[in-house]
Structure formats: structure tokens, C-alpha cells
A and B are shown apart, each in its own frame.
Chain A
């Protein structure tokens, strides 16, 4: 049958054509990064997700930054700062001679512009952007004053010792006022800052390209450009890395880690992130208002098994909210080892010798949620073993977040990425009683007056050693009260091709491609 053959030929022709075109290797000096999702926009003050920030933070930078591989603060665009004795005035001395990518100078007026655009409704740049966390980060800022060209003063409404850490947040990055007023709404897609890379191009759905900024004040990066490609499917990202068309991927799924560990073509990097995954317990609802019940849940859940078998080493067992090994972490926190007998005993003491029934809400996915459903299923069977019958309810992320504001939750799976090691950034929003949902993110409805007092005091003291002592005491109270089941701190995994050198993961989940050298 001639026509059949013709058709067959027609179908094979494109294949033959395409096979003749071998996949090119990257040009020298170009780093290609595979992201899990496409950035939404590139102005860090206007986004909330990791992937947007991972790109945007290369273009714009804050006054203060975190050191390599740590969330210890370091001077950046601010050379130094002083804090008034009452903790209400922060005066920053700015680095001189720094230029934005558009050639305009970085100065005190730019600092004032970058922050005020977010918090003042009358600011000319307020209408041309939407700033999701303006209140969360800068709600406490009364005014920003440019004292002279290179001195800027922040006046706070009330003392907050973690303010310097706030100034290291992505949302506190400095933008060129000239460029933003000129670009208007479009500024968010192509921001202008002082960072190591400048915006070059964005082909929607395909890639964002940044080029090195030769006049970068710390010295130009060693690579010419970075191309970010959004590739949602894990297998596709992995295949591109192994075939050499990607140089760097983050968010390597747990199931692929073992496979990559023995692969000679890639380097695997691991680091514990400033993150905590928890099973929230509604402390204001019966029977969870009884501390013994909450402690029983902590003994019943086998965290080691979750980390080992579900997360396959992409998590470190957690005992409390603060990242272990950092200045504010209490090293000797009470542990709740897997002990079903102890759990049963506590339940019996609380009046539930035969257990009880409850529901657990779980999102299907979500930023920082790792493998929520698989983890929840393990917890469900752990709890059934001590007589607590759990009905799982899985929800889409958006619906889930909305449902948590109803306060009807009993058990709920959630995570928190503080972005820094300062205990105030995790303990205050999640456990202070002023932060009960819907006012803030304390969705466990936890309240302990002594704990509240310690946290408030720690906000008012600026001496770090004193703050550490207060937070350590507060953590002991917290873990004894067991408002959550602390499950794990995520270990982020990145994989790079062998030609990538000098790359380091950062606990804030930032992706610092400016340190990369390509061999």
C-alpha cells in the first residue's frame, strides 16, 4: 500500500530532521538553572514565593545580608548602623559610590523610596505595585528619614529587636526610584537594582535571563549570564541535568536523591534550611486543651520513620521551632521519642483510655510542605496505634489556607520558613497569643502568659545574649506545652553538573548563583 508508506515517511521525516540536530552544550560563561516553577514577577517586595525571590534577589539587594551558609547578619548596602538606647531608632550609614543598573546613584532617598512605596498609601509608587507583606515586615515602621545623602534613619512605633533581620528580608531590597517611576506597573517584571546581575530578558513560560553587572560594588560575578528555566516535572528537570542541558537544580525530590548520590556526572549539595514542618494541634478545642493529650500525640508520632522512609534523608527531625545550632536555639530541649506506650498512658491519664476520633487537615502540596499526604498517612497510622482514629481530609493549597481561618481545625499539617535564624521570626508569629488566627498565623491557638511575656521582653532587649536567654527559656515552656507535633526541618538538596564550582546552598532557601564559577 503506497499511501501507507508515504504516510509513514511523512511521520518519520520530522524525527529524522530533529535527530540530525544534536543538543548543544551551554556556551561558556552561561549557567542554566532549573526552577520548580516560573517566577511570578521579579520584584521581591511584590512576591511571596521562593522561585520568584531566587531570581529577583540577584537583581536587587537589601541594606543588610546574611553571611554565606548562615543567617548571621552582615553589612551589605549599609556599611554600619547604630540603634538608639530605647530601641526605636535605627540609623544606617550607606555604602558610597554604589550605582543602580540604570546608572543612577544609590543613596538615602532610594532607601526611603524602596520602603515607603510599600507602607504609605500616598506614595507615588504605592499604586503601581502590590506589596503582600508590607504590614508583616514594615507595619512597625513609623517613618524613614534621609538624614543626608548616605545616612538614613528608621523610626519604629515600638521596639523590635529583630528589626535588623527584617532589613535583610527580600522585601527590604533597594530599587532604583528613577527606573520604577519610569516603568510603572511593568517594573515588577524587569526591576532595576544594585545586585550582581541585571535583568536581560524573559520569554514567558520558557526562561528568564540575567546578565552580569560589570560595575557590581563587590566585583562582577565570574559568569556572564544566568538562564532560569521553569520545569515543573521532576523527571524532566533531572533528565535535563543528567543530559547536560541544565547546570543546577534545586528541590531534588526525595526519591531521586539516592540515584544522584552515586552519579559521577553530578555533585549533590545538602543543607538544613530555616524551616519547620509541623502537625498543628488546635489548643483551644477539646480534647486538645489538655496538655497530656498533646504530649501523647508527640510520643505517638514516629518522626524518625517519617524522615527516614518518606523524606529519605531530606529532613532532619525537629524538636522545636528554632533551627538547631543557631544562637537562639535551646540545645537541651525535651525530646518526645517514639513511645506508643507512654502516649497511651498519657491518654488514659487524660481520661481517654480508649482513645478518641478526630480529623487531620492536609494540603495536597504547598510551598515548604515536602510530601504532605505521605507524611500525614504515616502519622494517621501512628495515631491509630494508640487509639486515636484520624480522618484525613486533603485539600488544594488555596482552599486549605482559607479553611484554616475558620478556626475549626483539630489537627493540621503546615510548615514555616522563617527565612532567618532569629527566633522572633518564628516564635512570635506562630505562638504569641496576639497572633491568633485570623490576626496572625498562630493557628494552633496557643496561649501561655509566661511565654507571651518572655517573647515580648525579648523584642524590647537589643542585647543578643540576653535575648538568647529569654528565647531559650521560652522554648522550654513551649516544648513542654506541646502545642504542635514538631516533625522536621527540611534539608534542601541541590544538584549541579561537574562544571559548576563555588556554589553553596543557603539556609534561607535563597539561590546565590553569583558565587558560581564555571569550569
Chain B
């Protein structure tokens, strides 16, 4: 186990290096460099040339990359080209907000999805099961931004229960209640698609597990419904569910970009989008590295969970 973890952590280096090369190349091969984007429609030749020199864009690509990676090795992600602020601080600050949002959404979708899935599986073909199937189809096919706007119109504009956007009220506020009030709409929006996927999968695996011989045996020896479902069946049905939850965690990290934009949530997603539009290379590199790192760590956590759930799984 320890050796497995160590080896997986060693893999982190090459993965992140690969990610950084790809992001760097994509940003540089996309038409339009930072100087051009900044000057926009008003650009004249002298300003463009001067800015390119100031930004180091006159250097060959590999020199630009090596300079950057050299700094990263020393823990310095550089400064944003236009915001002028150190990228590391900026990204970590914003990542906290993203983590809170995706964490909450993941919690909602996992707990909600498993509960709904079990309820559907134990009452297969009941009214609840059918309603849940319809709701799942709806949840999975709705675009995030649309759902976000609908929730905002209903709960903020019409009912006035919840604030429409932001993370804290810009004056006063700042407390836990203020944060929760701002968190609910974006977290529910982000969780909507995942909850349905997890619910459908839980239902399917639970149905399969409940049909196994050992479940019949458990029932035959007189165990009640609850211990059969929760102690025997659920734990064995969990492996595919954990896999999907892991995938959903990655999906939520990526999907947070849209939700953050709709609700003006100050996360790393909006920051990276802003950076891409301005071709702010250091900022995008920093943001993507942090997201990639967390994605890899989530996968590692999922793999480790397998062993705990099913002792038959051994790490080689």
C-alpha cells in the first residue's frame, strides 16, 4: 500500500509536466498573442513590437517554456501579464472558492444520488422509481447555465430567498450564513447532472447485487431488509459507484467554470477563462496546473478507496 502510494505520487511529476507542455503549446499555437489581444482593434506596429519585447514574446518558444519551468521548479509560478500579481497566490486564493463549490456539489450529488438510487432499487418500478427516472433524464440533459439562470430567477428574483450571485455580500456579511446563502444556488446547479448519474448507476448496481445468491442467503437466514440492503448489498455495490463518483469529481471541477460564471463565484475557473481570453500564459498555466493536480489526486484517492472497500483488490 505504502509503495503503491509512493509510486503513484512519483507519477505526478511526469503527468504535470505533460499538462504544462500541452497547455503552453495550445496557448501559443492559438492565433493571437497577449500583446495583440491587449491592443485589440487599436493596435499599431510600434506598440505591438515594444510590448512583445517587454513580455518576452520575441524569444523562441522553447526558451520561453524553459524560463517558465525553471521558475516553477523554484516554486515561482510567475506574475500574471496584466494583473501584475503573483500567479501562485492568485490561483490558490481562487482555488479555495472552487474547492468549496465543487466539494459541496460532490457531497450533495453523492449523498443525494446514492439515497435516491437505493430508494429506486428497493422499490423498482414504483411511482418513486419512475419519477426518479424522469427527473434523471431531465437533470442529465439540462445545460448547467440554463438551470442556473432558472434557479436564480425563481429563488432570487421572484421569491427573494437567496442572493443571486457572488460569494459574500460586499458589505457587512462575511459570516457562515452569508456564505451558505450564496453557496446554495451554485452548488445545487452544479450538482444537478451528477446526482442523476450517480442515482441511475446506484439503482442499476443495487438491483444487480440484490439479485445475487449471497443476498438471497442473507434473507433466507432471516435478516431484515435494512441490514441486507445497507450492510451486505451496498458495500458490494459501491465499487462502480466510487469509480463514477471519482469521475464526477473531475467533471465537477471542469463544469464549475460555467457555474462560476453564471453566479459570479470567484473561483479558479472564471480566472482561467479570463486568462485564456487575454492569452495570459502564466496565469492559465498556473490555474491549469492546480486543477490538473487536484484531478490526479482525486483519482489516486478513488484507487485507494477500492482496496478499503474490497480487500480482494491488491496493489501491485
Contacts and interface: CB of A to CB of B under 8 A. Distances in A.
A binds B: yes
Contact of A48 (B38, B111, B161, B171): B38
B239 interface: no
Contact of B180 (A17, A47, A429): A17
A235 B149 contact: yes
Nearest to A399: B31
Interface stretch (A23-31, A338-346, A509-517): A23-31
B84 interface: yes
Contacts of B165: 231, 233, 236-237, 239-240
Interface stretch (A57-65, A85-93, A200-208, A289-297): A200-208
Interface in A38-65: 38, 40-41, 46-48
B76 to A, nearest CB: 14
Contacts of B83: 40-41, 189
A130 interface: yes
B172 to A, nearest CB: 5
A195 B41 CA distance: 29
B132 interface: no
Q: How large is the interface on A (under 10, 10 to 19, 20 to 34, 35 or more residues)?
A: 35 or more
A135 B166 CA distance: 39
A441 B184 contact: no
Nearest to A5: B115
Given A15-B184, A236-B263, A243-B160, A4 B119 contact: yes
B167 A206 contact: yes
B54 interface: yes
A21 B177 contact: yes
B37 A239 contact: no
- Among B40, B152, B156, B169, the one with the most A-chain Cβ atoms within 10 Å of its Cβ is B40
B188 to A, nearest CB: 9
Interface in B29-68: 30-33, 35-48, 50-51, 54-55
A166 interface: no
B44 A135 contact: yes
Contact of A188 (B84, B93, B230): B84
Interface of A: 1, 3-4, 7-8, 10-11, 14-15, 17-21, 23-24, 26-27, 30, 32, 37-38, 40-41, 46-48, 130, 132-136, 139, 185-186, 188-189, 203-207, 209, 227, 229-233, 235-237, 239-240, 242-243, 245, 366-368, 396-403, 405, 414-416, 429, 435, 438-441
Interface of B: 30-33, 35-48, 50-51, 54-55, 79, 81-85, 90, 93-94, 97, 108, 111-112, 115, 119, 145, 149, 152-153, 156-157, 160-173, 177-178, 180-181, 183-184, 230, 261-264, 266-267, 270-271, 274, 277-279
29 contacts: A7-B112, A17-B180, A24-B172, A26-B171, A46-B82, A48-B39, A130-B82, A132-B47, A133-B39, A204-B90, A205-B94, A206-B167, A206-B170, A207-B170, A233-B165, A233-B264, A235-B149, A239-B152, A239-B156, A240-B164, A397-B40, A398-B36, A400-B32, A401-B37, A401-B43, A403-B31, A429-B44, A440-B44, A441-B43
